[in-house]
Amino acid sequence: MKLLKLQIFPKGRDGWASEELLFADHITQIYGPNGSGKTPIVQSISFCLGYPNEFRNDIYERCNYAVLSISTAADGIYQFKRYYTKEFHIEIREPNGFVQTFFDEATHSAYMFELMGFETSELVDVRSQATLPYMSSLLPIFYLDQDYGYGSLYAAPSNFVKDQFSEMVRMIFRLSPKNSVDEKRQRRIAKENLDILDRRIQTFNKQLDAAKSKSSHITATPEALRTEIESLEKELEQFKTSGTYHDETLSVYDRLIAKQRAEIRHIDEQINEIRKRESGITKIIEDINVEIETVSLNEGARRVFMSFDEICGSANCQLFSHSSGSYSKNLLYLKDQLKDLERNRISDSASLTNLEQLKTNFEAGIQSILEERNASSKKPEISALVDAISRIKNQVFELQSQLSELDHISVLEEKVFSNAVERNKAYEKLQSLSNSKSTSPELIKLKHELKDLFIKWLDAIHTTNISKNITFVDDFVPVLGVETIKQLKGSTKIRAVLAFHAALIELLVSKPYKNFRFIILDTPKQQDTENLDLDGYIKTLKTLSTITGVQVVFSTTGYHYEGDNADIEWLPKFPGDDHLMYLKRNDSIDIINL
């Protein structure tokens, strides 16, 4: 946004008005003696943009409104018309001629932030309630009021937002808020979602453990079960559709017995593996116990002899070089190993019991099938066929039941896995919302750039008696060595404030954001700053204006800047009691009301 012109309009025939004041592309200097009316002129700029300036009573009585014209690269020219009244009343004429009228700061601020391309969100106020930023909380970055602007780093008329300075700087640099109500709500929702997923995973794990325990007798894979079921169904179909001999019905029992014996062999292999492992674990436990006893004896010996000089009289003796801490760590490590091994042994013992029971069940099943086979061999062929078909159907049903159990386990495992994936995402989201905003890469880079520019501007205004070892607290509050700007006094504080705001503006105009591209300095405390140093500061601002197009507006009494064709000087022109004035009665100036 670029400042174009300013004009103050009178209230009635005895009112006061200004001429049309055009802003320079670079530096606009408002130069005049004390009492010439510089203050209402410079204050009216920020006043039209929404800053709650307070004027002397004669301004409210004699001036009607001010009109500030600005241009935006994308839209065109906007006119901001604000009435000199204690009530909030601003009219904005848009480039298309439409006039927006605002009677409260909140809606006006929302309009301005949208115009500037800010994505505002609810912030947290000092009472931990939801609030929104105002233009009056943003403008002190660009406008330094003569009464309070040079006494602190950030002089807002009201500090109602938690970490308000940090939030405003974050906003102009398009960083996420430090304390966002939306994020607070998002953190709560993310935490609730994480808790729900944790409970869901816990429930599915319990169901999975129960399903696995119930199906511990199943040793085949789902693929093997499906193959076996398909084979039995084909065999069953052959029995139904073709003539079957007595010997073929007996072969059904033989195949079932063979399958059961194969299962027993598989179980025996698992049992042997577990017993071998148990034997190995027992040996390892014995070895660890011996080692623990050795370590304990060494520690005991150390305690007995550590005070005997005749045992270790040399200064370089290494006999007891290890501390008690080392012995304790060794013992803890060995005991932890024992606990792990004992847990494994208990788990193996439970598995062994289950396998032995499963083997017993298979053996009983084989005995039952043998008895059925023997009985079937003595029955008529038709009766034996019926028994064989019944046996096959029972086997198919059993295998289908086992397959159903394994499928149920697969479903539960998939639910556990998918919920674990979602849980990880929920956890990462919560962590991202909970992480300190002071460690984001964008913020770290921004502070590094701001530090370098701050040092540059401290040198430009010849600030010598402070540390250049600059760090930041609360995001953007500089600490110079061990001092904050709040701790500085007099000229040093004023120089530091001027340098910091110039550094912020230079950093801001280097970014591709829509923003105010100006800095307004309402009568810097010249009595506390040497003209030569202030001249160095203004000339450095001039260089910045030439490179970036940033506009500088400042009012001055003692110091005078000698500009060029890209600069403009506003001088008082109208007769007053003691000297020329910036404002004059309505009857002596040609005023065209807008």
Question: 180, 130, 125, 141: which is closest to 49 by C-alpha?
Answer: 141
Report whether 330 contacts 294 (CB < 8 A).
no
**Six token digits for residue 504:** 């912020």
pLDDT at 592: 43
In a domain, 468, yes or no: no
Distance of CA 500 to the CA centre of its chain: 27
Question: 125, 124, 102: which is closest to 115 by C-alpha?
Answer: 102
At 475 the three-state DSSP class reads coil
Report whether 35 contacts 572 (CB < 8 A).
no
pLDDT at 310: 46
pLDDT at 569: 95
pLDDT digits (tens, 9 = 90+) for 560-593: 999 999 999 999 999 888 889 999 987 655 444 4
In a domain, 553, yes or no: yes
CATH number at residue 570: 3.40.50
In a domain, 136, yes or no: yes
Q: Are residues 160 and 241 in the same domain?
A: no
**Six token digits for residue 551:** 């506009």
pLDDT at 438: 59
In a domain, 489, yes or no: no
**Helix, strand, coil: what percent of the chain each, to 5?**
55, 15, 30
pLDDT at 124: 87
For the chain (594 residues), the mean pLDDT of every run of 10, in chain order, is 94 91 96 91 95 93 95 89 95 95 95 88 87 93 89 90 92 86 78 91 90 80 83 70 58 72 81 84 81 68 49 48 56 76 80 79 76 66 66 77 86 90 84 64 90 94 90 91 89 92 94 88 73 91 95 92 94 89 74 44
Q: Are residues 73 and 137 in the same domain?
A: yes
Q: Are residues 14 and 144 in the same domain?
A: yes
Q: Are residues 537 and 389 in the same domain?
A: no
In a domain, 592, yes or no: no
Q: Are residues 365 and 231 in the same domain?
A: yes
Question: 446, 489, 450: which is closest to 466 by C-alpha?
Answer: 489
Q: Provide the 10 A C-beta neighbour count for residue 576.
A: 15
pLDDT at 43: 95
pLDDT at 16: 94
pLDDT digits (tens, 9 = 90+) for 109-148: 999 999 988 878 888 888 888 899 999 999 999 999 888 8
Range of the domain at 566: 2-175+512-586
In a domain, 221, yes or no: yes
Of 389, 406, 423, which one is at a domain's C-terminal end? 406
